[in-house]
Amino acid sequence: MIKGLFFAVSVACLALPLEWSSQAGVRWTDAGSGSMRGGAVVQSAPADSFKVVLLGTGGGPPVNLQQFGASILVEAGSERFLFDCGRGTTQRLTQAGVPIGSISRLFLTHLHSDHVIQIPDLVLTGWAGGGRTIPLEVWGPDGTRDMMDHIQQAFAFDIHVRRDVDEKLPGEGITVVSHDIKQGIVFDEHGVKVTAFLVDHGPVQPAFGYRVDYRGHSVVLSGDTRVSENLIRFAQGVDVLVHEVVDAVAIRARPTYPANRERMESIIAHHTTPEQAGEVFSRVKPRLAVYSHAPNSEAVMTQTRKTYAGPLQGPEDLLTIEIGEKVEVRHFAR
C-alpha cells in the first residue's frame, strides 16, 4: 500500500550490533520487488500485509523541518488507520504515496495541538482534493467530538460552497463521525482489533496509547506518556513497541533552562527519559523497539543502551516497519 523510494535494513540504528537481526527476527533487505511509477517504487500489498509508517516523529509545538508533527499510519491488509495528525501529516502521506482521501479512520492519543493541528487539512483536502466519498471516523479522548464539530463550524463557508454551490461534492465525504472513547476495544472489524489504553501524560488527562492486532501480530503506540504500568501491561507479547522519549539531559543543558527551570522540569516530568524507556523495553521485550515523538540523536540512543540491549530503531520520518515472520525496517530514500 505504501509507495515511495525505499531502501530497507533490519533494525538499523546507532550502536545496534548487527547480530540482533538474526536473534530477534529482524532482517536486512534491499528494496525488493516493485514496479517503478513516476520515480517511485510501487509496492504491492498482500492481504496479510501488516505495516507501520512513522509519518512524523517530532515532538512538541516547535516547527521541525526534519521531523514533522506526530503521526503514524498503520496498514493491515487493505485497511488504513491513522494515529494522530500533527503538522505535516498530509504532506508525509503524499510523500509515502498514500492518497489523502483514502484515510477514513483517525485515532487520537490526546488533544494537544501538536497531535491534532493538521486535522482540518485531512478533513477538507481529503474530501475536496482527495476524493473521499465516505465519512471520516474519529476516535479520541473526551473533547474529541466537540473539537471535530467546531472544525466543521470553522470551515462552514468552504464546505457549503463546495458541497452545495460550486463543485457539488458528495456530502458524505465531508461528514465526520466522532467518538469520545474510554479504555477498551474501540474497533474490531476486517480482522483488525484496535484497543485504547490509558497512559500517564501528567495533567493531560485522559491520554491514550493504542494496540493494533492483526493476524497474530501486533504493534503498540505509546502516545505521550511518562512511564506507564498500564502501557507495559497492554504491550505484553507485542511485536513492535513505538514509544515516545524526551532527552532530559539536553533540555537541562539549554542556555534558557535556568530562567525556565520550573516549566522545563514540568515538561520532562510528563514524558519518558531514554533510560526509563529502556527499562520499559526490557520489561516488554518487543521484537523491535522504536522511538517516535523523540529527538533523532545519538545521545538518546546512547542513554537508552544503559538499560536496554535489544533491537532498537531511532525516530525517522517516513520509516516503514513491516511486521510478519520477520520484522523489516525500510528507510525512505530522500
- Treating both helix axes as pointing N-terminal to C-terminal, what angle do 144-154 and 119-128 enclose, rounded to 10 degrees? 50
- Residues with Cβ within 8 Å of residue 77, at least 6 apart in sequence: 45, 46, 47, 48, 49, 50, 190, 191, 192, 214
Residue 162: other Cβ atoms inside 10 A: 19
Cell numbers linked to 207: 491520554
Catalytic status, residue 164: no
Buried b (16+ CB within 10 A) or exposed e, 133-149: eebbebbbbeebeebbe
| Residue 37, helix vs strand vs coil | strand
Residue 239: other Cβ atoms inside 10 A: 21
Which residue in the list 84, 114, 224, 239 is annotated as catalytic?
Answer: 114
- Quick check: 149 and 120 in contact, CB under 8 A? no
CA distance 266 to 285: 29
Taking alpha carbons only, the member of 199, 203, 205, 292 closest to residue 244 is 292
CA distance 59 to 291: 11
- Quick check: 201 and 207 in contact, CB under 8 A? yes
CA distance 294 to 167: 42
CA distance 273 to 284: 16
* Beta-strand runs (E) in the chain: 6-9, 26-27, 35-37, 40-42, 50-56, 71-76, 79-83, 105-107, 136-140, 176-180, 184-189, 192-199, 207-214, 217-221, 240-243, 288-291, 312-313, 319-323, 327-332
Catalytic (active-site) positions:
114
